[in-house]
Amino acid sequence: MELLGHMLEGFGNVFAVGPLIAVAIGVFMGILVGAMPGLSPSMGVALLLPFTFRLDPLIGLVMLTAVYLASNYGGSITAITINTPGTPSAVATAFDGYPLTQQGKAGIGLGHSLVSSVVGGFVGIVILILFAQPLAKIAVKMHPAEYFALALFGLTTVASLGGKNWAKAFVAALIGLLINTIGIDPISSVKRYTFGVTALFDGFDIIPALIGLFALSEVFTKLEEGAIKSIDVGDAESRKDVWPTLREYWDHRRVTLQSSVFGTLIGIFPGAGSAIASFLAYDLAKRTSKHPETFGKGNAEGVCAAEAANSASVGGAMVPLLTLGIPGSAATAVLVGALMIHDLVPGPMLFTSNPGLIYGLFASMLVANIFMLFVGALGGRLWLKVIKISPAVLLPMIVAVAFIGSFAVKNSLFDVGACFVFGIAGWMLKRYGYPMAPIVLGMVLGKLAEVNFRRAVIMGGYSIFFTRPASAILLIISVAAFALPFIQASKEKRKSAGKK
């Protein structure tokens, strides 16, 4: 009853001109930031932060949270239309989103991406409202051994992502993990593979690598294929054919809800983030689908899974932030700054000292999702126009945008060069069947895996991974998840051999 009262108060605070305009601006900016390769959700929140200094705390926070929420959806737009994920969390969206575009069904991908993002966002926020405090307590009790096991579990997605080319997918993931070891070692501060280059002390940033591996390599592939004509989207421009029908949305309810809950849970763990959530949810969706063989070839379920999970992870990431004051991601770290600017200390006291603000924030996140649905639906036709642009115009523009995105991360030309090198390497590897996504997955999980592996060993020796029940269970699940695709493949092989 108390919760209901607080929520009503929250809605009362949000349904005013100021907060509603702030939500609208935040959603619009968030979608733009997300769609722009190189501008991450955390950068979007950070860029808008100075504009909130003089605003009312609720209005300022509402705007920043709306940016964070909408940027996770925005990343999927370029992932689906031009195979250039705007954010790392949209990489998994591109697996099936871009093949849909190639089949002239970009609208189907965009529609499912929008609706599943909204549903995921809702589920994440509802879980945040109902279970924030108990979930946060569990998340902070996680031992490094369990975090390492979680990272390893994240890597199991490679087994199903790779399919027939599993060995190449593993090589790609291990390359990503190895790239992550470049720079100053986070535990003992030893310089590894820096070759006297100061810019390498922090290692390679994920954004230039991501842009290079996906956007630039795609540009080179298109040029090699001689695809100078625009992608034929057929009748897709007529609104009637563009969006999925209500029935189609309904058909994907299971995968959307499953991924939403899963994404929220992953988002709660500090450091896990939306990219890991979307990869794991995609993998889970593939494993539980009736048609796993169509994943990666334009199955809308894949888009729903990835998008629902990465949007839901926003609600999850807010759990440790608001209940314990622990930022679980870069964007929530910027939000901590925003809270502190307004003399608000994130933590359990915030719920008792400022319930109007906290529940107003929750209410605004629900409202932001509704705004996102409208802005996304209205912008749909505009996004589709992107793929109608002649490649002779689009390909040079992709490079120009990619270089701005890479530069903006650290204002460094080194990152522009890195983006270019990753682009060439990605093109070469792709030509010989090495998938790009596992490299990104390796880079995303590398630090989480290494730091926690070493911390766990320092704390309890190598046996600790098997003596802690949660870690042991996660490791067993990981091994099973690794083995399952191979067992299924060999079963199918035997079956087909038997038929012959």
What residues make contact with other proteins under the rule CB under 8 A?
Answer: 47, 167-168, 170-171, 174-175, 177-178, 181, 185, 187-197, 219-220, 223-226, 228, 390-393, 395-397, 399-400, 403-404, 407-408, 411, 413, 416-417, 420, 424, 427-429, 431-434, 449-450, 453-454, 457-458
Which CB, 14 or 444, lies closer to other proteins? 444
Closest to other proteins by CB, 111 vs 212, is: 212
For 395, phi then psi, to 5°, come to -65, -50
Burial of 414 from C-beta contacts in 10 A (0-12 / 13-18 / 19+): middle
Q: How far is the CB of 30 from other proteins (least distance, A)?
A: 14
Question: Shortest Cβ distance from residue 183 to other proteins (Å)?
Answer: 11
- Report, in Å, the least distance between residue 107 CB and other proteins: 26
CA-to-CA distance for 218 and 118, rounded, in angstroms? Answer: 29
Beta strand 183-184 with 191-192 is antiparallel
Residue closer to other proteins (CB basis): 277 or 419: 419
CB of 215 to other proteins, least distance (A): 12
- Residue 306 CB, nearest distance to other proteins (Å)? 26
Closer to other proteins by Cβ: residue 73 or 403:
403
Largest alpha-carbon pair distance within the chain?
75
Q: What is the nearest approach in angstroms of other proteins to the Cβ of residue 193?
A: 6
d(CA 286, CA 186): 35
294: amino acid identity, one letter? T
Measured from the CB atom, the residue of 252 and 455 that comes closer to other proteins is: 455
For residues 153 and 249, which CB has a smaller minimum distance to other proteins in the complex?
153
Which CB, 165 or 289, lies closer to other proteins? Answer: 165
Comparing CB distances to other proteins, the nearer of 5 and 433 is 433
Give CA–CA dist 481/471, Å, rounded: 15
* Residue 381: CB minimum distance to other proteins, A: 21
Shortest distance, position 205 Cβ to other proteins, whole Å? 15
If the CB atoms of residues 397 and 473 are measured against other proteins, the closer one turns out to be 397
**Sign of the four-CA dihedral 469, 474, 479, 480:** positive
Least distance CB 220 / other proteins (angstroms): 5
CA–CA gap between residue 480 and residue 371 (Å, rounded): 41
Decide: 316 and 138 in contact? Cβ < 8 Å. no
- 54, 139, 159, 367 from 442: Cα distances, Å: 41, 23, 13, 35
φ and ψ of 192, to 5 deg:
-120, 125
Measured from the CB of residue 424, what is the shortest distance to other proteins in angstroms?
Answer: 7
What is the rounded CA–CA span in Å between residue 255 and residue 123? Answer: 13
Residue type, 206: I
The torsion defined by the Cα of 365, 370, 375 and 377, in degrees rounded to 10, comes to: 140
What CA–CA distance (Å, rounded) separates 56 from 26?
Answer: 15
Least CB distance to other proteins at residue 38 (A):
9
Alpha helices in 83-205 (DSSP H): 91-102, 106-140, 144-155, 157-162, 166-179
* In the block, residue with structure tokens 């929530």: 332
Nearer to other proteins, 153 or 427 (CB): 427
Contact 163, 489 (CB under 8 A): no
Give whichever of 128 and 219 is closer to other proteins, judged by the CB atom: 219
Is the backbone of residue 143 left (phi > 0), alpha (psi -120 to 50) or beta?
beta
